[in-house]
Chains A and B, each alone.
Chain A
Amino acid sequence: GEDVEQSLFLSVREGDSSVINCTYTDSSSTYLYWYKQEPGAGLQLLTYIFSNMDMKQDQRLTVLLNKKDKHLSLRIADTQTGDSAIYFCAESINDYKLSFGAGTTVTVRA
């Protein structure tokens, strides 16, 4: 099946870490992605991870993958006001298709 689920909202204080969680259902997914969407804009690819990896780190971003539980998370260290956006988790279904979650709106408060 193709079903990616995310919590809808996350509020975090500036300077704290944000953790956005995602679950997916297609055990054959080979790649999982995180995208960021700022208001009125398109989706920006943040990072992606191959399914045989447990973790990937890129500056302030850390992706953790638990393939057994089909759970993916994105941690943003030292969250800034510019990190306020909608974050989408997506899984690869085949060579052409991605299945997206509904997005998590992250609000950074001072």
Chain B
Amino acid sequence: SQTIHQWPATLVQPVGSPLSLECTVEGTSNPNLYWYRQAAGRGLQLLFYSVGIGQISSEVPQNLSASRPQDRQFILSSKKLLLSDSGFYLCAWSDSGGTGQPQHFGDGTRLSIL
């Protein structure tokens, strides 16, 4: 069966510091991968998605970047964190079979910026 892992679970970082959040998926090949942010108020905002190694699509302009160095690895990064980057970050995957493939989420990373 497929599993998705995100780490770390919680992170406290000072303003201006770098960020690296990692997500890996097991049990599937060539998945679509996604990074979401869930701010207080609970709505989910799609930040990035990827349909293959090295292919990244950005949904909103921001202080963050994403990379996919391997088929089942998705990384969210920042060179300099802002206070507004605080939130709950969720990674998700779906099969690459076209519209309708449900997305499956990891347990999330709670990021607090001081």
A103-B6 Cα distance, complex, nearest whole Å: 22
User: B49 touches which one: A43, A92, A96 (CB < 8 A)?
Assistant: A96
Main SS of the interface on chain A? strand
Closest residue of A by beta carbon distance from B43 = A102
Closest residue of A by beta carbon distance from B51 = A96
User: Do residues B98 and A45 form an inter-chain contact, with CB atoms below 8 A?
Assistant: no
Q: Is B46 an interface residue (CB 8 A)?
A: yes
B: interface residue count bin: 20 to 34
Closest residue of B by beta carbon distance from A96 = B49
Q: CB-CB contacts of B74-101 with A at 8 A, as 1s and 0s?
A: 0000000000000000101000001110
User: Do residues A33 and B102 form an inter-chain contact, with CB atoms below 8 A?
Assistant: yes
A100-B41 Cα distance, complex, nearest whole Å: 13
Q: Which residues of A contact B (CB under 8 A)?
A: 30-31, 33, 35, 37, 40-45, 48, 50, 86, 88, 92, 94-98, 100-103
Q: Which residues of B contact A (CB under 8 A)?
A: 6, 32, 34, 41-44, 46, 49, 51, 57, 59, 90, 92, 98-100, 102-108, 110
Excluding A42-B6, A45-B104, 7 further A-B contacts by CB distance (< 8 Å) are: A31-B99, A43-B90, A45-B105, A92-B100, A100-B44, A101-B43, A103-B42
